[in-house]
Structure 1
Amino acid sequence: MALKITAIIFTLLGLALAIGGGQLVMLGGSVYYLICGLAFVLTAILLFLKKRAALHVYAGIVIVSLVWALWEVGFDWWQLGPRGGLIIVLGFWLLTPWIRKPLGFLSPSGMQYSASAVPLAIASVIAVVVAVASMFFDPYDQSGELPDQSVAAAPKLGGDVPDGEWHQYGRTPYGQRYSPLDQVNVDNVANLTEVWRYQTGDVKRPDDVGETTYQVTPLKVGSSLYICTPHNLAIALDATTGKEKWRYDPNSGMNPDRQHQTCRGVSYYKDQAAAAGSACAERVYLPTSDARLIALDAANGQVCPAFAQNGTLRLETGMQHNPAGYYYSTSPPAIVGNKIIIGGAVNDNYSTQEQSGVIRAFDVNTGALIWNWDSGNPSQTQPIAEGQTYTTNSPNSWSVFSVDEELGLVYIPLGNQVPDQLGMNRSESVEKYSSSIVALDINTGADRWVRQTVHHDLWDMDVPAQPVLIDLSRPDNSVVPALVGPTKQGDIYVLDRRTGEPIFPITEEPAPKGAIPEDFSAPTQPTSAVSFKPEPLKESDMWGVSMLDQMVCRIWYHQYNYEGRYTPPSLNGSIIYPGNFGTFNWGSVAVDPERQVMFGMPTYLAFTSKLVPRADIPAKGQDEKGSEQGLNRNDGAPYGVLMGPFLGPLNIPCQAPPWGYVAGVDLRTGKTAYKHRNGTVHDMTPLPLPFKVGVPGIGGPMITKGGVAFLGAAVDNYLRAYDLKNGKTLWEARLPAGGQATPMTYAVEDGRQFVVMVAGGHGSVGTTPGDYVIAYALPR
């Protein structure tokens, strides 16, 4: 019976492989699956006939499959496993007495002998030895060291922030995510323990939108921490104990039309002209998901009525189209001098009548409009007249700004015009400013320079990350005020922040053609010399749990349009790699201004993008997401777009891991020193497996003077500490929810250095939701 069932299994597997393999060959793919399928069928026939030759044929399958796999991917265990795992398991099953005995023979004396297992046993053992040996190799790992000596003895950190505090999203206006504290260092970080844990009570609700996330980086000013929550509560905590001091609820309500329900942070301001201890002398500014900016007294959380209208600024003012839920600010505004400068997020790919992407500066005390810079009408920066509106659907900035007050510039990471995947009828201004870094004059709002990172963006490759400012020491002993700009497509732009000119070369490279007839694609695209752009995908990069779903991914790979980075979206469907999730996203990178090095988390996840003609789009409310996954409607445009990660039939990525790394770059040379897989599949599989695959992540890193980099972000729920010099993991703490935020650090009155992480999960990547703020310190 066992032999018969085995023969049936081999028949079914063989037919599946032969049929799929035949389709793959017709698409121009590998012939292996067709040959392997036919060999499986031959093995099944011999098993039905009880011929011991079945074992020899299968031994040939094992050896040929092993040679083929090594030829394709070398000693990469994560790629060898799907190719050979099922084959080896079946090989050992064929070696059991239940199979070998019926295939044996009777001796003249009447004894039943089992069929010889020697060829198959030898083949199977060789395959196992190769598989085990491959576990000790990592062809994707890049080992090396960053310089750990100080290059700049007294580097500019930006702003006047005490060493033990954290006043802005990136600690200072420079956005370095660098702390000059060194009590926690590479020698003792493994001793970090939890000091306190606070829960906000703002948990994900059943009626929340899918993109409900907790991404806040707390601020530390004096003895207080200031945070916001996904539903826009503002909360102050005692920095030493984690006890709540006050909370404020803006009652921003629920709206299913919002694409995002999140808050990345609040902004702090101290009015130098106000008397110490007077009401609202120190303020916290809270952006809300119903498009308000609210000024709160940092001492008690009460509204500051002198700001705008009874403490509230309405950000939808001046918008021609203003449907509720389509415009809001998810990131903390920048404050410089007497100005609070803010952009806004729009719902991606819902409509061509989105709100404007205008950047505005308001008086930080009164809320009066000082200037407005609209990328659709960039020359008019004086406040618009009553009755005038900003340009509908101009490129917006939803991320975090950085500021150089000495140069008088604020640096804006700019997005794209909706629809992201359709470039028809874009204005000259939109073509100039889309997906760029723009430097605006702090006082007038006039643009001083622009550096575009994608031409005629059809891929939602908006600049997502706060630009990081650092003064770089150059080989000729000069010091250049620099800007480090991470991008979704993997390039790191290192620019002179005075002019926008490159410090490391930027070249124009040929880009794929093939846009729809109504549109066009740019003939070239810029690439920075400092880059984490991925190698183009190949058929052999397709992945799966087994050879069957891997074969399906190979078939899909050939069925989609794909010619490398910047393959245009299409009616047929295109592979977009890197996908719009980005190699880098809003978490940006961390920069050590003393060592002049960078630490980041490049992520690699392919997406697919298929244009859907307007006539084929279902009635509103059916199967639409308006986000990174599902149907994006693009109302008013001739096409919607169906998009999402490139996943196989088992809902795992079609591309092979690693999907995420930690990496270190020497900013003086532009060279990547190391690149290591980051994160495990602990929270990606039904079983809590510790396999270090290298998983995707979204969130940001932090660096300390003690030579330690901290990062949560990965889709396994851990906060980790790394040796900045070589990228090795020094410590990790299990989080109760997804850590898709950026950690920060500060000192308390008794001198201890705390590291704080917010753990609340991320709707798009599916990590565990929560409402935790957790502090760690060394034992007393």
Structure 2
Amino acid sequence: MYRLALSAIIILTGAVLVLGGLWLAALGGSWFYVVLGAMLAASGALIAMRRPAGAGLYAVTILVTLCWALWEVGLNWWALAPRGGLLLVLGILVLLPAIVNAFNRRYRITAGFDANNAALTAVIVLAAAVGIYSMFQDPDDVSGTFNQERMAAAAAATDGGIPPGQWVAYGRTSMGQRFSPLAQITPANVDKLKVAWTYKTGQIRDQNDPQETTYEVTPLMVNGTVYICTPFSTVIALDPETGKEKWRFDPKLKQPPRDTTQHMTCRGVAYQEVTPADVPPEVSLAPDSAAAGTQAAADLQQSVDEVTTQAAGVPQNVVTGHAPAGAPNPVVDREQPPAHVTLSAECTKRLFVPTSDGRLISISADTGKLCPGFGGSDGTVNLWANMPNVTPGSFYSTSPPVVAGNLIVVAGAVNDNVATTSPSGVIRAFNAYTGALVWNFDSKNPDATAPIPNGQTYSHNAPNSWSVASYDPKLGLIYFPMGNESPDQFGANRGPNTERFSSSILALHADTGQVAWVFQTVHHDLWDYDVPAQPSLVDLTINGQQVPALVAPTKQGEVFVLNRLTGEPVLPVKEEPAPQGAVGGDHTAPTQPHSAVSFRPKPLTGADMWGATPIDQLYCRIRFHQLRYDGAFTPPSLGGSIVYPGNFGIFNWGAIAVDPQRDIAFAMPVYLAFTSQLLPRPDDTTRVVSKKGAPVFNENFGAPFAAKMGPFYSFLNLPCQRPPWGYVAGVDLRTGKTVYRHVNGTVRDLSPVPLPFKMGVPGIGGPIITAGGVAFLSGTMDNYVRGYDLRTGREIWRDRLPAGGQATPSTYQAADGRQYLVVVAGGHGSTGTKAGDSIIAYALPR
């Protein structure tokens, strides 16, 4: 019975491989699976008939497969395993006594192995030896080291007047470097880091929240207080030494409708401090006023009700953005801000809080109470003002605003690929005290930066800037990573200004909002390659001269190093031919920019297809040949295309970290292929790719096509491309050379069985660098925070987190003199990592 069952499995496996192999061969792929399947089926039949030659043929099958696998992928364990793992397991089963004795009984052989069994044993031992040897090879690793002279570069004692122990903005400063001049933690002592305190926010995502409910906040530490926000826009102040809660601000958030809410995110808040010498004419300083704070709190509730009523009350279809026939489409006008405000002493240090229902609120950094005057008595500016197509949940600022002197500059996230009638991606600057609109940059009307009159709206569906911006106070320029307009995958109807500003790095004059320069990273973007990350501003030494530079990582893996004064490349950028052949009516750009600093992967081949077994690997090879793929920038198609890198990005909002003294960038490149298929829409309102009641994704109401998109996975829900899928890397910014690149992360939290295999896993979130020569990262999809030797990129410390750590950490020095590393472990809804609500601080022992 056992023999028949095993032979049936081998025959069935062979039959599947023959049929699938014929399909693959007909598509122009490898014929090997036909040969493999035929040999397996024949050996299984011989085993069923109790013929010893079945074991001999099985030995030949393994040997041929081993030779083929080595020819295709070399000594790469994770590429070899799916080609031979199942065969070895079945081969071992063939050698069990139940099978061997069946051979012996048929041929009246004395118990023991004949030549066939001996051959099978020898081949299994050989294949296992090759596999074990390959486990200790690392062909995907690039080893390198920064020299001691580079590593000995002195860290700056201060950064623009910011004390070295503080972290005052998302990227530590407005320059977005994610570098700390603290040096207490070093490669020599990082392994002694211990948990100093843990705080739980009490707010965890659940099944009622949008899928993309994500803890992405980078904690600030300013003037002896740690500040965080949750995905639900709650702001919490903590003691930096103990983690004890000082205060909590509740914005009285009203969650918008589920079908128009794609995400709930707060990457951080913005901090501003004013001294008597800095007070502008429209502001007076006064003692604390409890009465004003009480009144502001009462007015906040009214403000929430009004914003929600104004948004939900606009008579539109909240899914498509179209007003019903004959219905008016009223404009949400701006309230008249006060001409003069009195700032209480407790509000000279303030936080600016973006909320997911479309508000920007000013609160005291000392007490968490509202600061009246900003936008009105409730300290709130309504970001829905002058917006077209007002639809709850379809627009808000997921990233902290920019503090630029006496201005607060805020952009916003517009729901991706919902409709051509989306809200505007306008960027606005408000007076930081009165909330008066100072300028607005509408990328479809870029020259009209004077405040828009009431009764008018910004351009609908204008390209937006959803990620974090950087600011150079000396140059007076703000640098925005720009997105696209919906739909991302079809661009036939885009106007000239959309073509100019989408998927670009945009520099605006902070005082006027006028364009200083724009550098486009993708021409006529059809791949959702919006610029996702905050640019890092750093002065680099190039050919012996100091250059004011901007370092911008992108989803497609190019890291553009530009002169931040002019937008011209500092390290070479060249235009390279790109695949052609968009769907009817659309076009593709003839070339795309390629940077000297690039993590763009090599084009995929059939040999790169992967799986747990030869069967799902064969499935992926069939899909690879069914889908259109011409390398990077293959346009979306009606039959489906492979998009590699995918729109998840080689880099995303976590960006990279830049050491301004050593001119080193530390990065976490991620490699996942996606698929993109255009589906003709029957009309402007029918759902094509999303279920009723679920958030709308990729419907593109009003466009000719919906988009069916997702990772390039097999039927086992595994990536079709072989690992590694994630690395850490170090780049010499003086030359553009990648000095090292190491496989990063395990599948412990991704596989059904928690096996700590180091396969190189995807991640989202970013790294930081310290002057002590240690980089930290918690973004990988296994639940760890890690420390790396910046010189070599090698992992030198890690600690287990209670949930996904998909946020960028920060580091600071508390009053006790110790350097702390603070990590957020709340999980990320769209990556499926474990949800949580933990804020964890590490420090060296006292």
Fold in common (TM above 0.5): yes
Specify the SS of the correspondent of 2:264: coil
* Residues 1:636 and 2:636 aligned together: no
The AA in structure 2 aligned to 1:356 is S
Instruction: Give, in whole Å, the separation in 1 of the partners of 2:177 and 2:512.
Output: 26
Shift of 1:101: 2.2
Q: Deviations over 1:229-260 (max 9, x none)?
A: 01010111111111111111112222212111
* Residues 1:86 and 2:86 aligned together: yes
Contact 2:641–2:675 at 8 Å: present in 1 too?
A: yes
Specify the SS of the correspondent of 2:799: strand
Partner of 1:596: 663
Which residue of 482, 485, 488 corresponds with 1:414? 482
Instruction: Give, in whole Å, the separation in 2 of the partners of 1:107 and 1:350.
Output: 71
Distance 1:156 1:12, change over 3 A: same
Contact 1:259–1:626 at 8 Å: present in 2 too?
A: no
Which residue of 345, 358, 365 corresponds with 1:291? 358
Aligned length: 777
Specify the SS of the correspondent of 2:41: helix
Distance 1:367 1:626, change over 3 A: farther
* Residues 1:474 and 2:542 aligned together: yes
The AA in structure 2 aligned to 1:428 is P
Instruction: Give, in whole Å, the separation in 2 of the partners of 1:630 and 1:648.
Output: 25
Shift of 1:98: 1.3
Distance 1:616 1:83, change over 3 A: farther
Shift of 1:97: 2.0
What percent identity do the matched residue pairs reach? 54
* Residues 1:398 and 2:399 aligned together: no
Partner of 1:326: 394
Instruction: Give, in whole Å, the separation in 1 of the partners of 2:3 and 2:86.
Output: 18
Contact 1:738–1:769 at 8 Å: present in 2 too?
A: yes
The AA in structure 1 aligned to 2:89 is V
Specify the SS of the correspondent of 1:403: strand
Partner of 1:189: 190
Distance 1:624 1:634, change over 3 A: farther
The AA in structure 2 aligned to 1:743 is P
Specify the SS of the correspondent of 1:365: coil
Q: Deviations over 1:429-468 (max 9, x none)?
A: 0001110001100111111111100000000000000000
Structure 1 stretch 252-261 or stretch 133-142: which is displaced more?
A: 252-261
Partner of 1:263: 266
Distance 1:107 1:632, change over 3 A: closer
Partner of 2:763: 697
Partner of 1:53: 53
Partner of 1:366: 434
1:417-432 equivalence runs, <5 A: 417-432=485-500
Contact 1:349–1:626 at 8 Å: present in 2 too?
A: no
Contact 2:761–2:781 at 8 Å: present in 1 too?
A: yes
Which residue of 733, 746, 762 corresponds with 1:667? 733
* Residues 1:250 and 2:251 aligned together: yes
Instruction: Give, in whole Å, the separation in 2 of the partners of 1:356 and 1:24.
Output: 46
Partner of 2:780: 714
Shift of 1:631: 5.4
Q: Deviations over 1:650-669 (max 9, x none)?
A: 00111100000000001111
Contact 2:685–2:701 at 8 Å: present in 1 too?
A: no
Instruction: Give, in whole Å, the separation in 1 of the partners of 2:244 and 2:28.
Output: 63
Contact 1:152–1:593 at 8 Å: present in 2 too?
A: no
Partner of 1:179: 180
Specify the SS of the correspondent of 1:632: coil
The AA in structure 1 aligned to 2:270 is S
The AA in structure 1 aligned to 2:36 is C
Instruction: Give, in whole Å, the separation in 1 of the partners of 2:352 and 2:254.
Output: 18
1:277-676 equivalence runs, <5 A: 278-309=345-376, 310-475=378-543, 477-615=544-682, 619-620=686-687, 623-624=690-691, 632-676=698-742
Partner of 2:800: 734
Specify the SS of the correspondent of 1:55: helix
Partner of 1:779: 845
Structure 1 stretch 613-622 or stretch 586-595: which is displaced more?
A: 613-622
The AA in structure 2 aligned to 1:771 is D
The AA in structure 1 aligned to 2:758 is K
Which consecutive residues of structure 2, in runs of 5 or more, have no partner in the other structure?
280-284, 289-344
Q: Deviations over 1:582-601 (max 9, x none)?
A: 00000000011111100000
Distance 1:217 1:112, change over 3 A: closer
Specify the SS of the correspondent of 1:430: helix
Shift of 1:188: 0.5
Q: Deviations over 1:405-443 (max 9, x none)?
A: 111100010001110111011000000111000110011
Partner of 2:6: 6
Distance 1:225 1:663, change over 3 A: same
Specify the SS of the correspondent of 1:104: helix
Instruction: Give, in whole Å, the separation in 1 of the partners of 2:163 and 2:527.
Output: 41
Instruction: Give, in whole Å, the separation in 2 of the partners of 1:226 and 1:694.
Output: 32
Q: Deviations over 1:26-73 (max 9, x none)?
A: 011111111111111111221233221111111110110000000111
Contact 2:346–2:367 at 8 Å: present in 1 too?
A: no
Partner of 1:748: 814
Shift of 1:685: 1.0
Instruction: Give, in whole Å, the separation in 1 of the partners of 2:458 and 2:379.
Output: 24
Contact 1:397–1:414 at 8 Å: present in 2 too?
A: yes
Distance 1:339 1:407, change over 3 A: same
Instruction: Give, in whole Å, the separation in 1 of the partners of 2:653 and 2:383.
Output: 22
Shift of 1:389: 1.4
Partner of 2:309: none
Contact 2:689–2:707 at 8 Å: present in 1 too?
A: no
Higher fraction of helix: 2
Contact 1:599–1:662 at 8 Å: present in 2 too?
A: yes
Shift of 1:102: 1.9
Instruction: Give, in whole Å, the separation in 1 of the partners of 2:761 and 2:223.
Output: 37
Specify the SS of the correspondent of 1:595: coil
Shift of 1:544: 0.7
Partner of 1:764: 830
What TM-score results when the alignment is normalised by the length of structure 2?
A: 0.90
Shift of 1:155: 5.3
Which consecutive residues of structure 1, in runs of 5 or more, have no partner in the other structure?
none
The AA in structure 1 aligned to 2:369 is Q
What TM-score results when the alignment is normalised by the length of structure 1?
A: 0.97
Instruction: Give, in whole Å, the separation in 2 of the partners of 1:137 and 1:55.
Output: 31
Specify the SS of the correspondent of 2:213: coil
Shift of 1:206: 2.7
Q: Deviations over 1:719-773 (max 9, x none)?
A: 0000000011111110001000111011111211111001100011100111111
The AA in structure 2 aligned to 1:661 is Y
Contact 1:329–1:343 at 8 Å: present in 2 too?
A: yes
Contact 2:427–2:440 at 8 Å: present in 1 too?
A: yes
Q: Deviations over 1:668-713 (max 9, x none)?
A: 1110010001110010012211111000000010100100000000
Partner of 1:34: 34
Shift of 1:149: 3.3
Partner of 1:200: 201
The AA in structure 2 aligned to 1:82 is P
Instruction: Give, in whole Å, the separation in 2 of the partners of 1:275 and 1:665.
Output: 50
Contact 1:97–1:114 at 8 Å: present in 2 too?
A: no
Distance 1:38 1:318, change over 3 A: same
Shift of 1:623: 3.1
